[in-house]
Amino acid sequence: MGRIYRRICFLRFDGQAGEASRLEFSELKEAIDAAKSASTTTDEADAILRRLLDEEGERVSEAVAFAEVLIPMLADRISPAIPAKSAGTLPLRASHRPRLGPDSAERSIADFIDDMLVQDRQPAHPISR
């Protein structure tokens, strides 16, 4: 249930409210119904559910905040180390690039991973004397 709810939170953050609503009223609803039927009392189930959803919502908020700080830091460190012609060697489909907000739209975590892979594949340059 936590995984489903985290996905819903990320979809909403990414501006995909329709997909988030679809998951909320299908998979999440099914998971909630199953959890409530396994519980001894409705009050107990509601309390556990509220706590779980609050915790998962907080985890998503913290992850997004962390990414918003980390992405610019990684961009500053990786960009100068990558030769300009090799930066696009491993393109990702746009659908697989996470969008974390307007300030980070041009670089995603996937882009940084691609850059690191490109850098690893570059032949080592001999140290000049």
Assigned domain for 15 exists: yes
Decide: 2 and 52 in contact? Cβ < 8 Å: yes
Token code pair at residue 85: 């012609």
Assigned domain for 127 exists: no
What stretch of H or E contains 44? Answer: helix 42-78
Separation in Å, CA 126 to CA 84, 85, 108: 20, 20, 31
Q: Which regions of the chain are under pLDDT 70?
A: 81-114, 116-129
Compute the distance between CA of residue 24 and CA of residue 36 in angstroms, rounded to an integer.
16
DSSP string, 19-36: HHHHHIIIIIHHHHHHHH
Assigned domain for 113 exists: yes
Assigned domain for 22 exists: yes
Assigned domain for 74 exists: yes
Assigned domain for 83 exists: yes
**pTM for the complete prediction?**
0.55
> For residue 2, how many other CB atoms are within 10 A of its CB?
12
| Number of separate domains in the chain | 1
Decide: 32 and 49 in contact? Cβ < 8 Å: yes
pLDDT for res 75:
85
Assigned domain for 128 exists: no
pLDDT for res 51:
94
Tell me the residue range of the domain where 26 lies: 2-121
pLDDT for res 14:
87
Assigned domain for 79 exists: yes
Token code pair at residue 128: 């000049």
